[in-house]
Each structure stands twice: as C-alpha cells, then as structure tokens.
Structure 1
C-alpha cells in the first residue's frame, strides 16, 4: 500500500513538472517518459536505490495559490507585477465553496493577466483584520500593493468577469 502511494506521488509530481515546461519541452519529455518501461520505473523505486534528497523544481507561475504566511502575502501579493485578487474565505463557509471555483474560472479566462491568492481567515486572522474583512467571502483586488476594488458575497459569472476586467484595466 505504501509503495503504491509513493509511486502515485512521484508519478503525479512528474506530471505536474511536465505541465509547467514550455510546450516543445513538455512534448519531448512526455514522449520520452511514456516510452519508459514499467520495469525501469519500478527499478527507480527499488530499495537498493535511495530517493534524491531534493526533488527537481521547475519554475511555474501559478495563477491561483494559497497564502502561507504574512511574508508570503507580502512577496506574492503586495509586490506582484500582476494584479492579484485575494479571496478571503473559510473552510466552514458554504458561499465561499460556491464562489471559489467561479472566481478561479474567471481568472483562468484572463490567461495570466491576473493572479488569485486564497487566504483562509481561520489560519490568517491577522491578514483578515488588517484588511478589514468582517464577512466571508470577501474578495479584494490589489494592484501595486494598493486595494483597487472589493466585494463581499457571491457574484454570478458575468459579474465576476466584469469585476476582473475592471481590475486588469479592460
């Protein structure tokens, strides 16, 4: 069971790394890795061979990310070159679970012109207080370190597209 879990994690990591590569590189990497035999993959995981200390990391700018701490918020949101929509949410919030996927869909339509940061208010209460979040879901639009727009509650897809369009300056 543990062996299958390890294989799945390594396999998924490889698939994620391939998706972050440029199209020509990803295609050649995928075709090469798909030609590997199962025996070769299994030999990589054999007990006689140890796993590398650090896994390879490719630089892949994610459109949507979870904020880890105040420093991460400062680096990835306030100092970002792109406008960033900050989704203040909570795990127990039903409307947040509805808005999150809608917001990600609206962000994805912009094809990298805007990013989205997710802040769980239970984990990062200090950020919620700092930005005056009194209800969830609350979405702030931040450009150049300044709040340029915000809304509270659920919006439909069209309203989200209009909001995101205003943030990026369309």
Structure 2
C-alpha cells in the first residue's frame, strides 16, 4: 500500500529534492503527465525556508531543578547554596517517586528561584542516602544554609507541598 502511494516519488532523483529552488517556475515533474506539477506540496522548498535548527520538548524545562552528580557536586550545589534547597531522594523503580517528583518540580518552579530542587537517586548515591538516614523513598529534605530544617517521607498533595516550601522560604 505504501509503495503504491510513494511510487511517483521514488522515481524522482534525490537531487531534485535537495536542490535549492532557483526560480518560481522550476517545479517537479509529475510521473504521470510529464508536465509541471501544480500541487503545492509537490514543489521543492528553498533552503532558506527550512529552519537551521529547532529544539522540541514534550515536557516543561525546570531551570531550578538539578540532578546531583556526586558528593562534591552535592556539597557545592546544596550545602554551600545561599538559596534554600529541597532534596528529593528517589529511585527509578519507585512508583510513588514518579508521582511526587514532577509534582514537586512544578511547585518549586512556581517560586521562580527562591528555592532550588536537588534530585538524588539512592541507587547511584547510597552514601548520601545513608548519611541523611533515608530509610524509605520518596524522602524529601529541606536544607537551608547547609542544615536540614524539615523532612517528609511519602507522597504529599500540592497544598501540603506548597505549605512545606513556604515554611522553607520563610517570610
């Protein structure tokens, strides 16, 4: 079926598809009539009409969220941060973590840089999980000036997360 639909295009040399449009009258020839094709989608596009590069994302970009790479990264970006940081200890296999993570990211992004979010995978960083006594996931810690000021374990709804973040940010 697909071969029947695309057979007229298979007989056209590739050069005609990739060559720039030199004049408005240079059209592709239809296979059936050998006359210029007047169908708009049959005409080659000039190179200027094709964008050079574009990015496409299916999810929102959260600029205030980062993944912790190692212990040094954790100390530099979390413990030495002047901005309060929410630490999300999670795991790839954890179902509740997959629910809480995006919800928490959305709430942190609403505060426009007043609070940051560090994501720590406990399978990759077991030393950090042990140091902060993470016994279940998801565990969320609130760190201000290098000290843990608040903590919760499990899923919270958006109202509870908002109250948690407001308490961390303060007046």
| Same fold at TM > 0.5 | yes
SS in 1 for 2:75: helix
1:49-86 C-alpha deviation (Å, 9 max, x unpaired)? xxxxxxxxxxxx93000000000000000001100000
Which of 39, 45, 48 is 1:37 aligned to?
48
**Superposition deviation, residue 39 in structure 1:** 7.2
1: distance between equivalents of 2:51 and 2:98? Answer: 42
**Residue number in structure 1 paired with 2:96:** 95
**Residue number in structure 2 paired with 1:140:** 141
Q: Residues 39 and 109 of structure 1: is their aligned pair in 2 closer, same or farther, counting only changes over 3 Å?
A: closer
Count of residues in Structure 1 that have an aligned counterpart in Structure 2: 117
Question: Would you tell me which structure has more helix in proportion to its own residues?
Answer: 1
SS in 1 for 2:66: strand
Any unmatched runs of 5+ in structure 2?
1-46, 54-61
**Residue number in structure 1 paired with 2:110:** 109
Q: Residues 135 and 40 of structure 1: is their aligned pair in 2 closer, same or farther, counting only changes over 3 Å?
A: closer
- Contact 2:83/2:115, CA 8 A, preserved across alignment: yes
* Misfit runs of 4+, over 3 Å: 38-42
1: distance between equivalents of 2:50 and 2:100? Answer: 45
**Residue number in structure 2 paired with 1:79:** 80
What is the root-mean-square deviation in Å for CA atoms of aligned residues? 1.9
1:6-56 C-alpha deviation (Å, 9 max, x unpaired)? xxxxxxxxxxxxxxxxxxxxxxxxxxxxxx9367949xxxxxxxxxxxxxx
SS in 2 for 1:37: helix
Is 1:62 matched with 2:75?
Answer: no
1: distance between equivalents of 2:93 and 2:130? Answer: 18
Q: Residues 152 and 41 of structure 1: is their aligned pair in 2 closer, same or farther, counting only changes over 3 Å?
A: same
**Residue number in structure 2 paired with 1:23:** none
Give TM-score scaled by structure 2 length.
Answer: 0.65
2: distance between equivalents of 1:40 and 1:165? Answer: 43
Any unmatched runs of 5+ in structure 1?
1-35, 43-60
2: distance between equivalents of 1:164 and 1:41? Answer: 41
SS in 1 for 2:104: helix
2: distance between equivalents of 1:96 and 1:111? Answer: 23
Larger gyration radius, structure 1 or structure 2: 2
